Structure formats: structure tokens, C-alpha cells
Amino acid sequence: MDLKMMLANTAREHADKEAVVSGQQRLSYAELDAASNKIANTLLELGVGKGDRVAMLLGNSPEFIIIFFGIAKTGAIAVPLDTRYKNTELNLVFGSCQPRVLLAEDALLEKTSAALTRSIEVISTGGAAEGTSASYESIMASASPQAVEIPLNPEDTVFLSYTSGPATEPQGAMFSHQSLYAEAIMSVEGFQQTSADVLMLFALPLYHNFGLVAAMLGSVYRGSTIVIVPGTGISISSLMEAIEKEKGTILTGVPYIYSLAVELAKKEGIKNNLSSLRVCASGGAPLRVETIEQFKQYYGLTLADIWGLTEAVCHITCSPIDGSGKPGSCGRTLPGWELKIVGEDDTELPVNQDGEIIVRGPFTQGYYRNPEATAGAIKNGWLHTGDIGRIDEDGYVFITGRKKDMVILKGQNVYPREVEEVIATFPKVAGVRVSGVPDRLRGEIVKAVIRLKEGASSSEQEIRQLCQERMADYKVPKQIVFTRSPL
């Protein structure tokens, strides 16, 4: 099955049902299907063909969903990008994936100017900005809504997700129609999601695999309604109001969101009617048992912990939504995935013994134009996750550490090496070490220990400014320590 068929099937079965709600915008499945056809037809007119990369620089919006499916229908490869990337990151990512077209919000186009050094067609989602080939508004007004007749193969690559090092060495994981389709089915089965569900999308970006697959594709596959809670800041109060108004039944988010919800309940109590909620799923970062217990205490709801990684499309495990799981566990493996714990020689370890987690299932096709990295991650048909964990006698998975060097901050992966390489370009710096420091709300924060060159002086502000110019804001070290000792 491919994503074009996924949307077509749902649009046929649930034509008039609301697919996406965002503020005053309410889009039915029939309208979503027709609008994405307009995008597909426009891309084909621009010469986009099968396998071409089409970059997306868009925040959560109905337009994101329409454009993603429009790209998929042409046989091209969608490349959704972090809207917080800086010019340096965008330039390197564009150099890696070499997009034929970029679709971006007007407000984000300005920062792409230095990165648009190649022959890239640009479509703005606002008015027709200067230098663009078309605008989203004009496409919706005049493009054909007829279905495109491009034959698709389930094994065709449809999605490219950049997982690490965009400021130094971009690495994009490739996914097929079939792998996204399979994972969407697994996800909705884990959440027991139906067409009657209303999924709340809040502070979980659609360019992130968790948002794109578990929230968006799972909902489209099942015919659920996706409610996008608008706003650039994180306001838990606005989320609660939206749940009450739209009668939300499923909430997906990173642990940080649930920690903030607990803090809100402690300070102000619960002012909204949240009785419609039946599933609250947490992923993207480790979930503390204390957060689960406090969320249950204040909201009367169980947090279903899930675990996965970008290379595995989305989540591999899911805790029972009825709360019958085990404290500290991220649940059992979803049907369709195989998981085992191995030692250094890849020999499978017995139950309750820690080792690296490796998985087999609909994972990445490999890293784009990087066979060496692909061979390092996929061995003998198994994906090596770099996470350390164990399985107990009942099949429950416990994540206990990380083999790979990575900081997880509010669900975002930060690779210390990337931050170190950026800071090392500063002429005053002789050496730098970056690591994660535990944080109660965020999970971890980024810490940099810096040794300056003999006689040099600097400040935290100077280092942060350098990082802010080169990297997305969440990668900038929260703690900066200067030392004269060797690193």
C-alpha cells in the first residue's frame, strides 16, 4: 500500500468527516484529498518527478498535511525540515538532499536566502513572495483537483528525515511508502484508535517522526480528526481549552508537555472539562515514573509510555493504555516489530540483562547517499538502535541508557559532537566537551565545558551568540563552564 491509496481510501469512506481542525479552519477528508491533488499537479507542472526531493519548511498547519500528501502522490520524496534550523544547517541539508522544490512559510523564506544557491523552485504558503515560483494561495485557487495518475510502488522512498548533525554532517534516514503505512497501522492499534477519535496535536512538530507518523498518518489511516492547537509558544492552558472545546480523546506529546501539565495542575488546579480524553501517550524522550504518578494523581489519566527512534519510523513499543503496564517500562513490542537485547558480539542476552537493543521491522531503507553510515546501523537485517535496555520475563521493555552519544531535550535529539564542532570554530577556543545534564522538566539540558587558548578571554554570551548563529536554538548550551584544565 502507498500513501496516495491511504488518503484516497479514507476520503472515500469518510468524505465529509473533519480531517483537520486548526483555529477557524475545518477541513474534511474529501477537501484534504482534493487540495493535495492540487499540490501534486502543480509539482508535476514544475517538472518534479519520481525520486526528486521536495523540501518543506513549515510549522504545524493544515497546509503541512496537504503538501505532504501532495508530494507523496507525485512519487517524489518529502523532506520536512526543522523550522528552527539556521542558515548554516539549511545550506548543508540542501547540499545533502538537493531539493528540486522548496515549500516554505513566508516568514521562514528570508532565512533560506543564503541556502538557496542552487536551482530550487520556491513556493510560498502565504502571498507570492518575491522570487517564488508560485504561492499556495494561487495553487488552491487555480490548480486542478483531479487525481494524478502516477504509478507508485510501496517500496518507493517517500520521506527523508534528517536525524543528526545538520550543522556539520547532515544524515538523512530514508523511508518507503510501505514502512510509513505499516507503522501507522501499528501505532493506531497500540492506541486502539478509531474514526471516532479526536487527536490533539500540540507542541509536537509534524516534521518530527512522532508527529508525522503517530499523530498525522495514524489519524489519516483510521479516519480520525486531527486538531492542531495553534500558537508559537507553549501554553498548557490553551491546550486544555482546546481539549474541552473539541472534545479531544487522544493526546500525543513529549514528557516535557506532561510535566508542564502537572505543574499547571499544582498551581492552578484543573479548570477545564477533560472527560473526553481517553489516551495520553508520551514519547520522544525518557518518561519519569514520578511524572506518570503525578499526572494520574491530578488528571486521573494513565500516561502510556512509548519508545522508538527516527530510524525505526516512529515507536516500537507501547505501554497498555489501560494502565496495566509496569512502572519504568515503555511497554511491550508492537505487533510487526521484533526486538532483542544483545551483547558486544551481537549475541542475544537472557531476560533482565542489559544490552544494546536491536530491532527488525519496517525501519529505514538507510541513510541518504551514505552507505557507510547505513552499514554501521543495519547489520544482518537488524537495526542497531544505540539504546541500552532489557526485557523482563513478561516481555516488558525497560530503557536503561544510551550507547550513542546524544542528549534528549524536550524530545529533541542533540548530538554533542555537532555542538562541539561549532564551538571549536571559535578562534579563542582550545578545546570543548559537550554533554547532557539531567533536568526535571526538560529531561536533559546541554552543557559545554570550554578551555580557552592561552591568554584569551570570553563570556557565556559570546559563546551562545556563536551557537545561535549556526544552530537551532534548542542545541545552544544552557550551561557554559570555562576551565583551564585539560579536557
Q: What is the pLDDT along the chain (487 residues), one digit of tens a residue?
A: 899 999 999 999 999 999 999 999 999 999 999 999 999 999 999 999 999 999 999 999 999 999 999 999 999 999 999 999 988 888 889 989 999 999 999 888 876 765 665 567 888 887 655 667 788 999 999 999 999 999 999 999 999 999 866 667 889 999 999 999 999 999 999 999 999 999 999 989 999 999 999 999 999 999 999 999 986 567 899 999 999 999 999 999 999 999 999 999 999 999 999 999 999 999 988 898 999 999 999 999 999 999 999 999 999 999 999 999 999 999 999 999 999 999 988 999 999 999 999 999 999 999 999 999 999 999 999 999 999 999 999 999 999 888 778 888 887 888 888 899 899 889 999 889 999 998 888 889 999 999 898 889 999 999 999 899 888 999 999 999 999 887 7
Q: Quick one: pLDDT at residue 221?
A: 98
Whole-angstrom distance, CA of residue 97 vs CA of residue 77 = 10
136 three-state secondary structure: helix
In terms of Cβ atoms closer than 10 Å to its own Cβ (0-12, 13-18, 19+), residue 307 is buried
Contacts for 464 with CB less than 8 Å, ≥ 6 apart: 476, 477, 480
Q: Are 63 and 45 in contact (CB under 8 A)?
A: no
- Put simply, whether the predicted model's pTM sits higher than 0.75 gets the answer yes
As a CATH number, domain 1-404 is 3.40.50.12780
Cα–Cα distance measured from residue 199 to residue 2, given in angstroms and rounded to the nearest whole number: 23
CA 271, 272, 274: angle at the middle one, nearest 5? Answer: 135
Query: For the chain, percent helix, then strand, then coil, each to nearest 5?
Result: 35, 30, 40
Backbone region of residue 369 per phi and psi (left: phi > 0; alpha: psi in -120 to 50; beta: other values)? left
Please name the residues in contact with 66: beta carbons below 8 A apart, sequence gap of 6 or more: 32, 35, 36, 39
> How many whole angstroms separate alpha carbon 412 and alpha carbon 475?
9
Q: Superfamily assignment of 407-483 in CATH?
A: ANL, C-terminal domain (3.30.300.30)
What SS3 class is residue 205?
A: coil
Q: Grid coordinates 534528549 are at which residue? A: 408
Residue (of 239, 248, 255) closest to 277 by Cα position: 248
End-to-end Cα spacing for the chain: 52
Rounded CA separation 44/154 (Å): 20
Other beta carbons less than 10 A from residue 481's beta carbon? 12
* Distance separating alpha carbons of residues 485 and 487, to the nearest angstrom: 6
Give which of 98, 88, 111 is closest to 167, Cα–Cα.
Answer: 88
The domain locations on the chain are: 1-404, 407-483
Residue 186 CB coordination number (10 Å):
25
* Residue ranges in 214-282 assigned as alpha helix (H): 218-222, 236-246, 255-268
Beta strands in 121-207 (DSSP E): 121-124, 134-135, 157-164, 171-176, 198-201
CA angle (191 as vertex; 70, 161 as ends), nearest 5: 40
| Separation of alpha carbons 100 and 401, rounded Å | 40
Give the span between the Cα atoms of 189 and 192, in whole angstroms.
5
Taking alpha carbons only, the member of 203, 185, 179, 42 closest to residue 124 is: 42
CA angle 327/410/181 to nearest 5° reads 80
Phi, psi values for residue 143, rounded to 5°: -75, 160
The phi and psi torsions of 332 (rounded to 5 degrees) equal -100, 165
Per the CB < 8 A criterion, the answer to whether 280 and 251 are in contact is yes
